[in-house]
Chains A and B, each alone.
Chain A
């Protein structure tokens, strides 16, 4: 069975296999549906709203949800429309989370697989490097990243490198709020891969003496072929499980960074930042907590269910 799977699969069969459990399970279909809905809403929703995410009206500050004044989910302390902020914040939150997760999974899997497969001195050095990175104070890592690289001296070469027009909208965005977003990807992605690297390494370490690896080696497969076509697919269960769990953890870390004041630049907001604000306003304006926390938790649960379903599809278990 393992051997059969490790031979690799055709495109078509894999798509079918992934889709099958969705068909079998209602919760998975619901979760996928909800995520698509959220995705569509944050993409095109802001276009349909009467209010901008940064449009303030102090006189309407902290007004509860109402159908009358068009603030369907109420307003925050500055009188900004919560729905607009939720949709706009969702864009940034999802973008940050997805990209950071992809970065961290890419680094973590490659790193862990190499370390585990080559073993010996390579493994020793690579794992000690992970230990070192693990022990560095995260707060200062983020601080140094955010403070030093948000400077124009760093941003301007970046703009030239990307061949953007120096006075164009993209360059403006990078100079202003954009650079924080980019740095957030980098900071979150760069620190989230460590645990995954250890897990993958443990898996590979355990799998590499299996008979099917010997068989592949005997059949003349090269190191990278064995690693990526035989070993990693067999370790994919825990990898997918952990990757899916990385999404919420990245979003929570993003919230924590906002909490430290190093996150996105106001008046932009992420879900994490909105939830944090809502916590403080809980006693006077519960809607400021209920809606952001609700949508954030629901979205993350759905990510979880979908990821879970994918994992099962991959492992071939019901």
Chain B
């Protein structure tokens, strides 16, 4: 049945292709093998440990090569500095075999010791790396980074664990409270812990850099021990914060080590120039072990952020490709017809945070009523118009079929009215909400459309839209000073936990005030599960618990959408919008596939 639908869609597409659509603007390739990328903003830093977001990631992954690299289409980890790896059955110990040909740009070989140094540096509190949390899967990494302590039984020498075998972590304050016996009634887990500790002689252990679970067995072998079974750990090793940094340059130049004249790197490109506000220029690195396959001579990243400007520069042939999300939302309707428009699934969810701490939204029926009254399908089709998928769930729609994602909440204004009446607000009478959103993109229009949907379903509801500048908005949300707030969330890596972890009761990303022990338990259980399929089932059950309670109201899952000149090869739409330039080429003929055969 599904196949039939696809064939139908294919025929329709063929039909619409009968009249070949035009390209947008100039399509003559540049004179040399240079790729000019509209990257959306200045990188904050080119230090992989201090680079906070996707703008930096896009550049950093070309300067520094990790154990693995992203496949440009599927994003699966493919061999890079590591040419092979083994993993134990429980997926708690990984052993990487590094290739001996990998070199730093000063000629020194890349060794396992480089990774030990780099990961310890990324976790060191003095480094203040914003992405250090992505390394917390490694044994003792979180404890070292945050200064938390583990508790050891003096007799057995074992560390105390939670119900799923994960070693407990305590903040120094919690430890102090247990010692002093100052345990407020709310801190039930501490009381329980104190009871457990009463039975044994115990000691608190602080964790040093040396205790972090990464070891060099020899120059070419790196062993990583993890806190818990983590089958997707390989995916993580391609992330920027996992990539190696050069000890000699950092120790010699301090903060200035990322300047072109000091930078030592091991990736396919080297840094020529970084002028804030203007551009970042990379050039092919001749010392790179796989340099023969790198086909670009130069790459320039431009920080332009004004959507219309970016579009004009692309049209005039001054930019060859854009990262996703830079196109003016209004122009998408027209650009979608163009042959150089590219779009694909994206691990980004757009949803509303609901403050469940205070009435009226502490009532689950009100949350359900509001969620049921939003016509997501029409919103996606008429307002967003870039192919976004209406979504009733928290996780976005595309995990390549590995995740049995629940379908969640739908559109049913009649039931919504009944629920709201049952909650004591017939037709929205007496219901008053503050809806917070930030400036930019189509957030205002989306908020207005949702406001209109609610008004249609509940004529007497009063929704006050509050527009705030980005940082103010972040502050307001963090302080919990809202009823409803729009939010979007994108994945760091392609696994549902990248979303689901954020609604754990203790997560810094959960400003809703929602805490559900059942949800937390299911996630923890899943995180201790080494069988991949059982793990996914547990995660899906957790998401069902979440969607039953609705501390967030799902709206849609997003798509990547960008423009790419026909002569650009190897820059594909993928679910994280990551594009390693190693695989990218600029072709004059426009027919040769890249070396992976795509």
Do A and B share a direct contact in the complex (Cβ within 8 angstroms)? yes
A267 at the interface (CB under 8 A from B): yes
Q: Which of B446-478 contact A (CB under 8 A)?
A: 447-449, 451-452, 464-470, 472
Interface check A155, CB cutoff 8 A: no
Cβ–Cβ contact B383 & A143, under 8 A:
no
A262 within 8 Å of B (CB atoms)? yes
- Verify B469–A267 contact, CB threshold 8 A: no
Stretch with Cβ within 8 A of A (4 or more), from B220-228, B246-254, B324-332, B392-400: B324-332
- Determine if A176 and B464 form an interchain contact, defined as CB atoms under 8 angstroms apart: yes
Q: Are B449 and A266 touching (Cβ within 8 A)?
A: no
Q: Do A59 and B382 contact each other (CB < 8 Å), given the known contacts A260-B439, A261-B439, A279-B308?
A: yes
A261 and B465 contact, CB distance less than 8 A: no
CB < 8 Å neighbour of B383 from A58, A261, A280: A58
In angstroms, how far is the closest chain B Cβ from the Cβ of A279?
Answer: 7
- Bound CA span A116–B465, Å: 46
Closest A residue to B481 by beta carbon equals A151
B158 interface hit (Cβ, 8 Å): no
For residue B512, CB closer than 8 A to chain A, the reply is no
Q: Are B469 and A143 in contact (CB under 8 A)?
A: yes
Closest-by-CB residue of B relative to A143 is B469
A284–B383 CB distance below 8 A: no
B331 touches A266 (CB 8 A): no
Cα–Cα distance between A77 and B331 once the two chains are bound (Å) = 12
- Residues of the B chain whose Cβ atoms lie less than 8 Å from the Cβ of A62: 333
CB <8 Å contact, A285 and B330 = yes
- The 8 A CB mask of A232-257 against B (1 = contact, 0 = none) is 00000000000000000000000000
Q: A94 near B: Cβ within 8 Å?
A: no
**Cα-based distance from A260 to B467 in the complex (angstroms):** 10
**Per-residue 0/1 for B355-388: is the Cβ within 8 Å of any A Cβ (1 yes, 0 no)?**
0000000000000000000010011001100000
Whether A78 sits at the interface, judged by CB under 8 Å, is: yes
CB of A163 to closest CB in B, whole Å: 24
Question: How many chain A residues touch the partner (CB < 8 A)?
Answer: 24
B452 → chain A, closest Cβ, in Å? 4
| Interchain CB contact under 8 A, B378 and A58 | yes
B333–A261 contact, CB under 8 A? no
- Neighbour of B449 across the interface among A58, A262, A265, CB < 8 A: A58
Contact A280 B308 (CB under 8 A): yes
Interface residue A133 (Cβ < 8 Å from any Cβ of B): no
B379 in contact with A58 (CB, 8 Å) = yes
Which B residues between 546 and 565 are near A, CB-CB below 8 angstroms? none
Contacts of A147 in B (CB 8 A): 468, 472
Q: Does A98 contact B (CB under 8 A)?
A: no
Known contacts A58-B382, A265-B467; is-contact A280 B448 (Cβ 8 Å): no
Question: B330 near A266 (CB under 8 angstroms)?
Answer: no
Q: Which residues of B contact A110 (CB under 8 A)?
A: none
The answer to whether A77 touches B467, judged by C-beta atoms less than 8 angstroms apart, is no
User: In the complex, which residue of chain B has the Cβ closest to the Cβ of A151?
Assistant: B481
| Cross-chain contact A283 with B448 (CB below 8 angstroms) | no
- Tell yes or no: A130 within 8 A of B by CB: no
Give me 21 A-to-B residue pairs in the complex whose CB atoms sit less than 8 angstroms apart, sorted by A's number: A54-B448, A58-B379, A58-B449, A58-B452, A78-B445, A78-B452, A147-B468, A176-B464, A261-B470, A262-B467, A265-B466, A266-B444, A266-B448, A267-B451, A280-B308, A280-B328, A280-B329, A280-B331, A283-B328, A283-B331, A284-B330
Known: A261-B438, A266-B448, A280-B330. 7 other contacts (CB 8 A): A56-B452, A78-B445, A78-B452, A143-B469, A147-B468, A261-B470, A265-B466
Chain B residues with CB under 8 Å of chain A are: 307-308, 328-331, 333-334, 375, 378-379, 382-383, 438-440, 442, 444-445, 447-449, 451-452, 464-470, 472
Chain A positions within 8 Å of B, measured between CB atoms, are: 54, 56, 58-59, 61-62, 77-78, 143, 147, 176, 260-262, 265-267, 279-285
